[in-house]
Structure 1
Amino acid sequence: MSKKVLILSGSPRKGGNSDLLCDEFLRGAQESGNQVEKVFLRSKKVAPCNACYYCKNSGGKCAIPDDMAEILDKMQAADVIVMASPVYFYSIGAQMKAVIDRSVARWTNIPNKEFYYIMTAAEDSDTVMDCTLECFRGFAACLDGAQEKGVIYGKGVYEAGAIKGLPAMREAYEMGKQV
């Protein structure tokens, strides 16, 4: 059965390592007959949440007029959400954090999603990604019926494109095919 897959690429670099892994996941998922869309978050305007809670009394409409409403629409419509970020000080990058925080406007309307997580780090250790993975998992834990389906660790990569030819590229492609 074909699924709607939404890939949220939190890389600050187009063609950066986590972005390239997103492309491989996308390729695999498309080849398996899924409808796939990738949103490169840096190209979207997503302001930080200002905790005004306008959304609480306005049916999930945020007071901030930016691209987040469009992203939330896509998240609600998706069956599968892929969240990707490089590791920044053992956590997720600003682009992804803003999206997670702004999801407060409609987080109760994002149930029953399958989640995949993609992370990249300059260090060659899984443990440097523990906090990043917990950030992703913390978000999903707030959503009813969320299921973690897979995690990709792109380790030992710093320069854009360094991930090419490493096992994580094949893993991302194969994981995409399994959606």
Structure 2
Amino acid sequence: MAKKILIISSSPRKGGNSDLLCDEFMKGALEAGNDVEKIFLKDKTVHPCTGCSVCSMYGKPCPQKDDAAEIVEKMIAADVIVMATPVYFYTMCGQMKIMIDRCCARYTEISGKEFYFIIAAAENDKAMMERTVDGFRGFLDCLDGAEEKGVVYGIGAWKVGEIKNTPYMREACEMGRRV
């Protein structure tokens, strides 16, 4: 049975290393017959959470008028969510963290989802990437029934496109096929 897959790419550049890994994951998922949509956060306007508490104290929608509500709605509708980030200073980039924070108003509705994480970093030590993945896992700890299904550690790629000549591209494609 086909799954509805949402890929959230937080790369600041189209064709960046983490974004290329997203494309490979998508390629594999489409080959397996799934319904896939990729959101490139740079093309969206997502403001930081203001901490106004309208969503938590009053149960009302976030008052900010940007693209976050649309993205959260797609997260709620998806069966599978892929979150991809370049690694900056051993953690996820700010664009991804802001998007996670904006899930606050409706995070209880993002339940029963399968999650995959894609990271790309210049660092060659996979163990050093666990801090980044732990940030994603902290988000999942707040979601009912969230299940981590896989991580692509795209390490050793600094310049744009360096990820192309690594086994991580094939790994991302294969992971997409297995969804």
TM-score range, shorter chain: over 0.9
Aligned to 1:82: 82
Name 2:52's counterpart in structure 1. Answer: 52
- How many residues matched? 179
Tell me which residue corresponds to 1:151.
Answer: 151
Please give the alpha-carbon distance, in whole angstroms, between the structure 2 residues aligned to 1:142 and 1:87. 22
Deviation of 1:60 (Å): 4.9
Q: Which runs of 5+ in 1 are unaligned?
A: none
Distance 1:126 1:58, change over 3 A: same
| Code of the aligned partner of 1:168 | Y
Contact 1:121 1:128 (C-alpha < 8 Å) held by counterparts: no
Where do 1:55-134 residues align within 5 Å? Answer: 55-57=55-57, 59-134=59-134
Aligned to 1:139: 139
Shift in Å, 1:165: 2.1
Give me the whole-angstrom Cα distance separating, in 2, the residues matched to 1:131 and 1:42: 23
Shift of 1:128: 2.2
Deviations 1:95-145 (A, max 9, x none): 100100110010001000000000111011112211100001110111000
Deviations 1:10-47 (A, max 9, x none): 11111000000000000000110100000001111000
Kindly provide the amino acid, as one letter, of the partner of residue 46 in structure 1. V
- TM-score, normalised with respect to structure 2: 0.97
SS in structure 2 of the partner of residue 164 of structure 1: helix
Q: Which moved more, 1:106-115 or 1:54-63?
A: 54-63
Q: Does 1:37 align with 2:51?
A: no
What amino acid does structure 2 have at the position aligned with 1:117? F
Runs of 4+ aligned structure 1 residues displaced above 3 Å come to 57-60
Q: Which moved more, 1:123-132 or 1:70-79?
A: 123-132
Quote the RMSD (CA, aligned, Å).
0.9
- Percent identity between the aligned chains? 60
- Once the two structures are TM-superposed, the CA of residue 9 in structure 1 deviates from its matched residue by 0.3
Compute the displacement of 1:63 (Å).
Answer: 1.3
Using the TM superposition, give the Cα deviation of residue 61 of structure 1 relative to its aligned residue in structure 2, in angstroms: 1.1
Structure 2 match to 1:12: 12
* Structure 2 letter corresponding to 1:172: A
What is the DSSP-based 3-state SS (H/G/I as helix, E as strand, rest coil) of the residue aligned with 2:76? helix
Query: Any idea what the Cα deviations from partners look like across 1:152-178, whole Å, max 9, x if unmatched?
Result: 000110111100021000000000000
Do the aligned partners of residues 60 and 35 (structure 1) sit closer, same or farther apart at CA in structure 2, a change above 3 Å counting?
Answer: farther
